[in-house]
Amino acid sequence: MKRTVEVLSDKAALVERSLQIVVEQLKSAIAERGFCTIALAGGSTPKPLYEAIAKQDLPWDKTHVFWGDERYVSADHANSNEGMARKAWLSHVDIPARNVHPMPTHQPEPSDSAVQYEQEIQAFFKTQPGELPKFDVILLGTGDDGHTASLFPHTDALNVSDRLVTVGNKDGQPRITLTAPLINQARCVLFLVAGANKQDALAHIFAEEDDNQQYPARMIQPEGELIWLLDRAAGEKLDA
């Protein structure tokens, strides 16, 4: 695992740098394998990145979009990660509908949606149960509590090691999330973190020793590249 930490002057610079890395990674994946796969983060930080990606001239027919996690709401709900990415990016480019793989959130039981998404990932990557596919890029954020995707502190999702997708839990609200083992298979994991409110969590996440159950983003130690992009407000006190 190669960890790179870059502190950018402000959020705009962070977005610009993340765009450069994402485009580079997707283009090289297409050059090597004929297609690329990216799993999106939710929340607010990545929205301007998605707006910027929408303006890129990428081979959308060779680009496959998945999600790293999703709130258990419909796509038209204000909190939907799918809805945010479609509004900011996907509805502005001619990407085939079959290339967009949203997490299902309509089943009464979230665990059934997790199984359904796992099967969709396995079918796409043509992997067998138990085999972990490799996404080219997985975008992540972290909360001021040190969570990432929907892997929240001291929740069962942190200990799921035999699945690709599981049910997360934020204050009793169900989420669908990729598991840490699947995220750690990615060729490139790119964290985007902005704001002074993330400083304390980052100090724990980057500490040599700390509690992974309390700061789940620590569990993200991919075999591929791990790139943390921080704005100055988030990263100024770090000596990472």
The footprint of ligand 6PG (CB under 6 A) covers: 41-45, 69, 71, 81, 141-143, 147-150
Indicate the Cα dihedral angle 36, 96, 17, 209, nearest 10°.
Answer: -60
Which lies closer to ligand 6PG via its Cβ, residue 168 or residue 224? 168
- Nearest CB to ligand 6PG, comparing residues 216 and 224: 216
Long-range contacts of 10-15 (CB under 8 A, 24+ apart): 10/231, 10/232, 10/233, 11/45, 11/48, 11/194, 11/231, 12/48, 13/231, 14/192, 14/194, 14/229, 14/230, 14/231, 15/48, 15/49, 15/52, 15/192
Least spacing, CB of residue 65 vs ligand 6PG, in Å: 14
Q: How far is CA 38 from the centre of its chain?
A: 8
Residues in the chain: 240
What is the smallest separation between the CB atom of 2 and ligand 6PG, expressed in angstroms? Answer: 22
CB nearer ligand 6PG, residue 25 or residue 45: 45
CA-closest candidate to residue 206, choices 2, 5, 16, 53: 5
Residue with tokens 């006190």: 237
Q: How far is the CB of 81 from ligand 6PG (least distance, A)?
A: 5
Shortest separation between residue 198's beta carbon and ligand 6PG, angstroms: 7
Tokens of 206: 């980057």
Please give the span between the terminal C-alpha atoms of the chain, in angstroms, as a whole number.
16
Q: Which residue lies nearer to ligand 6PG by CB, 67 or 121?
A: 67
CB-based contacts of 237, cutoff 8 Å, min separation 6: 199, 203
Smallest separation (angstroms) from ligand 6PG to the CB of 201: 10
Q: Smaller CB distance to ligand 6PG: residue 37 or 148?
A: 148
Handedness of CA 107, 109, 112, 114 (dihedral sign): positive
* For ligand 6PG, the closer CB: 150 or 185: 150
**Cβ closer to ligand 6PG: 34 or 67?**
67
Q: How far is the CB of 86 from ligand 6PG (least distance, A)?
A: 15
Q: How many CB atoms lie within 10 A of CB 27?
A: 15
Q: Please list the residues that pair with 41 across neighbouring strands.
A: none
- Shortest separation between residue 148's beta carbon and ligand 6PG, angstroms: 5
